[in-house]
Each structure stands twice: as structure tokens, then as C-alpha cells.
Structure 1
Amino acid sequence: MNVLSHLGCDKVFDYFEKICDIPHGSFHEKALSDYIVSFAKERGLYCRQDNKMNVLIKKGGTAGYESSPVLIMQGHIDMVCDKNEDTEHDFLTEPLEIYIDGDDIKARGTTLGADNGIAAAYMLALLDAEDIAHPPLECIFTVEEEIGMGGATDFDAFDLEGKRFLNMDTEEEGHLMVSCCGGRRMRVYLPIEKEKKQAGTTLSVHIRGLKGGHSGSDIHLQRASANVLLGRFLFELRERVDFALVSANGGNMDNAICREAEAVVVVAPEQVQTVAAVIEEAEAMFREEYKDRESDILMTAEQMPEAAEVLTTETRDYVIALLRLLPYGVQTMDTNMDGLVETSSNIGILKTNEDHIFIDNAVRGSMESRKDAICKKIEVLGSLCGAKVVGVHDYPGWQYNPNSEMLRIFKEVWVEKFGEEPKVVAIHAGLECGLFAKKIPGLDLISLGPNMYDVHTPDERLSISSTIRIWEYLKLVLARLK
């Protein structure tokens, strides 16, 4: 497409555009993984691709750096695939339609995948360069980060030599990340019973227009979840109307705050106006509650073809109970670091299947016991509603090391280049750093990245100027790691 080639930056943007050309949603990274392997082979670099499609590439140090300590660099190559409701795009087969808007790179109607495609672009540009000083490199391209860190979990570190580790999955320039929380996915499977529909009018009720965002790093912003609002609406509707529930669906990713949700209901024809009134009142109430955070909440209803079956009243009530009572948002704040979330939970996916309703919850926490307490709460609630609850993708946090040599060097170079202190921060989100710290004893880790905004949503954008500044800074750091 050559949309970004004029931006320069030592081929960083060229490789980012190439990455955008290759579909690489979670579980579908093989094509991009194979491209990276071909890239390494063409340059005669050591390369290892595992069964998961993780890739490791090694490159020796440049002149004068041959015996320097090895630096491990790492980022993930899967992306969150989300699109606006009116956007036609096949994430399995079609390239992203990227474009430049001022200082930002965006994708038309879809997520961009700068999280974390820009990390892969940085590494490929560095591996391709012949005129950038650097120590011996071990570059790791992991898969399945966005859906439970399966790639990093299964990555075998047997041939890694480095003890210095740079992760590039941070989304704010000037932040040096030194700690992250752990997490667990709690999956609720509610068996459903159906019965034949009585005569009535079938309506599809939509909630849309929400901002969404990352369920870890954006959870403190207290944005609305469409799944939570849907549960509240259905509860209020039940108070006023005798309705049957056909289905309820919302969200595509457990690590994204749900932006859109839908319920299909059946009501008596004479109650349609009452449903419209409840929708109008609920929309006004939600807009008032979130007026400082969500400006475009919209609720609509449209008549649908008649449904052959509906959920039983008991199943309907269990669905409403789960949506009303499952924990959502910030649960506790860290008492040792101002403004840092300690534990949270996100109701990311609600999906009606043929024989069960699936609700996926992303639980995060920097304190293991409190994270476990939230997971136990979900288990208890599920059992009360006759649901099966399964905990999966449990990953560790990454503890802060105040004596980190990497932190000292990165801070020192930042001050020299920009004339100010960087912010040393922890994040309420999962990074693969915790898994690699567990695999490699004594690992000295740090994470950084350029400015990205609204990741995991179709509004995602990557700052061009920030990407360039981080690249120039990274080259200075590499020269210092002798």
C-alpha cells in the first residue's frame, strides 16, 4: 500500500505497514510468524519457530559489542480484532486499511494492532539494520498474548542467554514500566433451557456508542460496559413487562471493555410501547450517570422475525442475575502506590450458544489473595445460578526491582536525551514480563513504548512523532548497553 513509506525512521514504519498487510488476530498468527521466519533466513540469522508459532531470532553484537551482555527484546504479534458495527472487514483474510490522520496512524473502522505490532516493527528494523550499534540480541515474537498469553506461557527459554530483558508493550511515551499485575480468565457456562414461544412481537434491543477500552489499563477510567448496562436494562424491563428472552450477546474480547450489546426479547404486542418507554428512560439514566465519561450512549429497538423458541423464565432470570451481580470495574486500589488499581474484573464477552450462555470475565490483581477472592465470588455466583465456572489462563505478575541496572541505564539515557526524568510506573494490566521472569531466574526487566490511544477499539491510533522519538531513544540505549 505504501501509505507509511515516506515516514522513514530506519524502516520501522515500512515493517509496521507490512505487519498490517498480514492478518494476525489471536490464534491466527501463522502467516505473520512465517513471514518473520523468512525474514530471518534471508539475512542468515539464527531463527527458531515453535509449534505455537512463537519466533526467536538471534543477531550478534556489532563491532565493539561482540562480548557485551545479551539483550532480550520481546513483543507479541497477535492483535485484538474488533470493528465498528457498520464496517465490513474479514480479519482472517483482509489486510488492515491504514491511513494517516495528522500525527496518528489509524485503521479504517477497525483496530490497528499497534498493540503490539509496533514492537515487532522495531525489532525487525533493528535486525535489518547494519549501521546501528547494539549488543548481541535475542528477539522474541510471541503469539496469543491478547487471549491469555498462551505463546509466552509455552515458550521454551532453553536457548536464551540474555539476562537483560526489554519488553515493548507499553503504550505511553515517557513511562518506564517496572511492574505489572497478574490475572486469570473466569469462564461462566450457563446451561439453557428453551420452550416454544407464545404469540408476541420479537424485538432486538441494542446498546451502542460506548468508548470501550483496555480492560486493564483503562479500567480506572470508569467507563461503562455495554454488558453491564444490558443487564441493568433487562432487570428494569422485567419489573415493567412480562417478556421472554431469546438471546443476549455483547463483546468479542475478555480484555476489552464491552462497547456494544444486544438482547432479543419477545413481548405482547400491546406492551411494545412500554418497552420503548423503558428503553428511553434507561438511555437517559445511563447518559446522566456517565455524562463525564460516555457522551454517545445510544439504545435502540427494532422488530425482528418471529423467534421459534425462547429461554425459560428460570434461565432468563439466571442471565439477568449474572449480568447484574458479576463483578465489574475496579474492586480495590493499591494502598502503596497512589492511583494504581490493585484488583479489577471485566465482563468482556456475553454469547448465547445453542445449549449454553457463555460469559467471559478477565480478573486482574497485583495481590494474589485478593485476585483469588474475586475469582471465588464468581464461582459462588455461578453455582447459585446453576452455571459451570472454569478458571483458565492464570498468569503471574511482575514484581518491582528497585535495584534494576536496566532501569538505571534507561533513566540515565532518558534524562540525557530529553532533559527530564521519565515516569517510573507500574500498570494494572498483564504483560508477558511476569512469565519470562518466572522462566529465567535473575532476569532484569523493563518495558517501554510509544504513545498509543484507545487500543482494543476501532478508534485505536499510533502517534507517528512518538514512534520516531522512542526509536531514536532506543538507539541511544542500545549504544549504552556495551
Structure 2
Amino acid sequence: MNKLINLEPNRVFHYFEEMTKIPRCSLQEDKIADYLENFAKVHSLEYIRDSSNNIIIKKAASLGYEKSPVLIIQGHMDMVCEKTESCNINFEEDPIPFEVEGDLIISKETTLGADNGIAVAMALAILEDDTIEHPPLEVLITSNEENGMSGARNLDGSLLKGEMLLNLDSETEGVACIACAGGQRESISFPKEFKKAEDKREFYEVSVSGLKGGHSGQDIQKGLGNSNKLLARSLYKINTNFDIDLVDIIGGAKPNAIPRYAKAIIAIYEEDKKDIQNLIVKLNRDFVKEFGKVDPDVRLNFEKTDKFEKVLKNSLKTDIINLINVLPNGVQSMSQDIEGLVGCSTNVGVIESYDDRIDVLVNIRSALSSLKEEVGNIDKVCAEAFNAHYKILSSYPAWEYKDESKIRDLASRVYKDLFGTELELEAIHAGLECGLFKESIGDIDMLSIGPNIYGPHAPGERLEINSTKRVYEFVINILKNLK
């Protein structure tokens, strides 16, 4: 049963619902790329699918627009796959569960994938509709935007002829993005070294739960709790006051999402149990005082678990706990040019445990490459100080403001004519692929818009229906005026 069949614009929501049925987590985009390729074949449109699974679909200009400049319409096919602790969805096979509630489409237990599935849905609706007046179009759907932007990074810009690019990856209606932060993703790795667990030890799970999480770019200034940092802080207190062993530690799900949950397995002496429980109670009170207004459900848990035969060596335990504690996290500086805009931030997003190592994944965002490098250097120094291996996994440049922009001026006029209000222009702290397109395509004229999306990168992500309708109308009228 199609839940969105009665929504308008009908074909936009048709394609969006189709996308909820297709697995498309970052780095697992083969099925959605197949779908897009088949779409181009069915509609007899020229297309290119490159080795990174980027899809380019081209459509000739409508009558009277043959001499208009080529426009690139761009979005990304992948999504952040996040779910609640109780949700048992298999993102590699299952459709995204969602409901319509009033003017919202919402997935309560997982991410919805409106970021950036709604852009793809709009692009496909435009491509199939021969009644729309438009210039020559190149629809560019990139892969793996959410996990390092490798699709945009590996794009062969010579495949595109567009002089302007309309990115549909923004998340606030009536606000057009004209610049964005650059970013860097890092790993800090500890090789695992073990010792035999003492027979008289008892084992407990220490976990942080109840946090909201959020987008590590647009939500970083809200002061939300970071489960990885709160867990490390708790472990530091416990380890300082009691003789404990560390068995394992994990936390978070995606480097670009503020982590909501983290846990560690520790081994204690039973005679310390009551005092540790008292410390847990105190830490809980501290966390509620510190985060109660933004994360009212924050909770530090302490529960008995099964025994383990081996634990991490003492020196490694201390290095891991100390490293996560001292790593920078959150807003590092505000923009000197734009009031209220975060200039540089970092997110200790993921702690992963493997058979042979523990990895800490960090995501840095900055409008200035110098500050991005500075925070990266601090992370590297921290890693070296605590006997860990530091590696830059990926880096992308900022999209810098352009003084003159035809597409920005045109979009501003069209928006005012349609809705009677001014289109707001802003730079954002989130990352878009536009900075990479400057490198691969050249000095192209770009603008980013999109409908209202709430809570991207976290369960409970919501897409506003009427906002989608208005933004689609806005896009159609931009095309019509590119004559």
C-alpha cells in the first residue's frame, strides 16, 4: 500500500516513497544506483554511471530553451542509517518505516532519508514531466555524500557541461545556502592488547542513553550531550577512584551524527559495587543539571553482565579513557564574518570495537582550512600522547561565497514573485558537496535550496509536506525563468 499516493506534488511523493523501499545507506548504494539507471533507460534519457556509482541523467531543453545555459540539478542518493536502540530494522533489506502525521512524513524509529531522498525525487519528477519548461538539464545524483563525499570527490567534471548548479540538499524552506563549511574525517586507532581477567572480578555494563543526538553540523551549537564524551568522563571518574578493568567500549553510529548511545564493559571488585553505584547516581545528577534543558532524558546506567575471560591491559585502558576525555568536541570557534554562525567544530562521533583494535572516529567542520588543520593537529597530538595511530580518512574544502551569482539573483527574484517575501541567503556550518564541485567541475555558479526537514541524521527525522510542494514549485519556476 502506497501511503503517499494522495499527496501533491504527486510524482515527487511517488518517487520519494519508492526510495524508502530501496536500501541506500552510505557505501551500500548499488540498488538505488540500479534504480536510477533503469529510470533513465525507461524514459530514453542519456545517462552515465561511473565507477563510484554517481549517476548523471541528461535531458534536452524544452522548445524555446535550446540556447539557454545548461543547468545541473544535484542531490545525493545515500542516507544516514540511524535507528533507536529498540528498533530491529535491517537497513540492507527492509524498507524505511514511516507515517503521515498532519503536515509531516515521519520515521519514528529510524532516519527517514529525506536527506537527501527528496532531492532525488524532485529531480526524477522533473525529468519525466515533458510539460515543464526548462533549459538543457543535467541531473547529477552523487553517491556516499554522508560518509566522506567520495562520490563528489571522484567525479569526473568533464562529463558535465552545466554553467550553473542547483543543489537540493538544504533543509530550511525560504533560505538559500550560498556557502558552507569544509570538513575532515579522522580515525584514531588503538591496537588491542589483553590480559587474563581475574576470577574474583564481577562484570558490569556502563552505558549512556536517552540523548537526542542530531546533525553534527547544524545542531552542534545546541549544546546537546555527546554519549561518547559522557561515557569517557564517567569511566575516568570510576577508574580514578576504583581499581577496574576495561573489557570493551563502543559508541555512536556515524561520524557526522552527534552520538546518542555509548557503552563500556568494566570489571570491578564486588566490594566496590555500592560505592560505584553511588558515584553513578552523582554523575547522573550532574548530567541532568548540565544537559537537562536540551537532553532531559540523559541517563547513565550501571548493570551487571556476563563474565569475560580477558580484559584490556591497564595501560591501554587508561590511554583509551584519557584520549576520549581530552579530544576536542563541540563548537571550537564562531565565525568572525557572520554573526551567530559556527566557524569551527568537531564531533567525537563513533567508537568502534574490532577483534584487533578500537577506533575513535572524529568529524571536523570549518569554514577556514587553517582552523580545520589546527583542530586536526590537536587530535593528532592527543593520539600520539596516548599511544594511538592517527589517520585522516577524508577531507573536503569549504564552499566560499561568490560576489556575483546569476542563479542566486534569479532565484531571489523568482521567490519574491511567487511568495511575496524575500529569499533569505545564508552560509551554513553543515557540509555540502559544492566545495568539491568547485574543484572537479570548475568555477561553477551554485545555489542550494530545499524543503523543511527536521532532525536529519537521527531517528524521528521529519519532512514537511506543504513545504515540499512549495519548494518544488520554486524549482519549476527557476527552470522556467532560465530562458
Scaled to the shorter chain, the TM-score interval is over 0.9
> What SS class does the counterpart of residue 381 from structure 1 fall into?
helix
> What SS class does the counterpart of residue 7 from structure 1 fall into?
coil
Match of 1:363 in 2: 364
Contact preservation (8 Å) 2:153, 2:440 = no
How far is 1:435 from its partner? 0.7
Contact preservation (8 Å) 1:103, 1:463 = yes
Distance 2:124 2:275 in 1: 59
Match of 2:133 in 1: 133
How far is 1:305 from its partner? 0.9
Match of 1:436 in 2: 437
| Amino acid aligned to 2:46 | Y
How far is 1:339 from its partner? 0.8
1:49 matched to 2:49? The reply is yes
User: Which aligned pairs between 1:372-391 and structure 2 lie closer than 5 A?
Assistant: 372-391=373-392
How far is 1:10 from its partner? 4.0
1:220 matched to 2:251? The reply is no
Contact preservation (8 Å) 2:174, 2:423 = yes
| Amino acid aligned to 2:194 | K
Calculate the TM-score normalised by the size of structure 2. Answer: 0.98
In the TM superposition, what whole-angstrom CA distance separates every residue of 1:420-459 from its partner, at most 9, and x where no partner exists? Answer: 1121100112110111111222300000000001110011
Match of 1:248 in 2: 249
User: Which aligned pairs between 1:196-235 and structure 2 lie closer than 5 A?
Assistant: 196-198=196-198, 199-235=200-236
Distance 2:353 2:29 in 1: 27
| Amino acid aligned to 1:303 | K
User: Which aligned pairs between 1:78-227 and structure 2 lie closer than 5 A?
Assistant: 78-198=78-198, 199-227=200-228
Distance 1:180 1:233 in 2: 35
Distance 1:221 1:402 in 2: 30
| Amino acid aligned to 2:30 | K
In the TM superposition, what whole-angstrom CA distance separates every residue of 1:375-422 from its partner, at most 9, and x where no partner exists? Answer: 011111101111110012111111101211111011111111121112
Distance 1:278 1:354 in 2: 31
Distance 2:41 2:191 in 1: 50
Contact preservation (8 Å) 1:191, 1:386 = no
How far is 1:108 from its partner? 4.0
> What SS class does the counterpart of residue 147 from structure 1 fall into?
coil
Distance 1:376 1:13 in 2: 45
Size of the aligned set, in residue pairs, is 482
Contact preservation (8 Å) 2:111, 2:459 = yes
Distance 2:276 2:124 in 1: 55
| Amino acid aligned to 1:226 | S
How far is 1:300 from its partner? 1.6
What stretches of structure 1 of length at least 5 have no aligned partner? none
Distance 1:61 1:83 in 2: 42
Mean Cα deviation higher: 275-284 or 117-126: 275-284
Contact preservation (8 Å) 1:202, 1:306 = yes
Match of 2:338 in 1: 337
> What SS class does the counterpart of residue 361 from structure 1 fall into?
strand
In the TM superposition, what whole-angstrom CA distance separates every residue of 1:346-394 from its partner, at most 9, and x where no partner exists? Answer: 0011022222210000011111111101001111110111111001211
CA RMSD of aligned residues (A): 1.0
How far is 1:239 from its partner? 2.6
Contact preservation (8 Å) 2:292, 2:298 = no
| Amino acid aligned to 1:234 | L
> What SS class does the counterpart of residue 6 from structure 1 fall into?
coil
What stretches of structure 2 of length at least 5 have no aligned partner? none
What is the aligned-residue identity percentage?
38
| Amino acid aligned to 2:74 | Q
How far is 1:190 from its partner? 1.2
Match of 2:427 in 1: 426
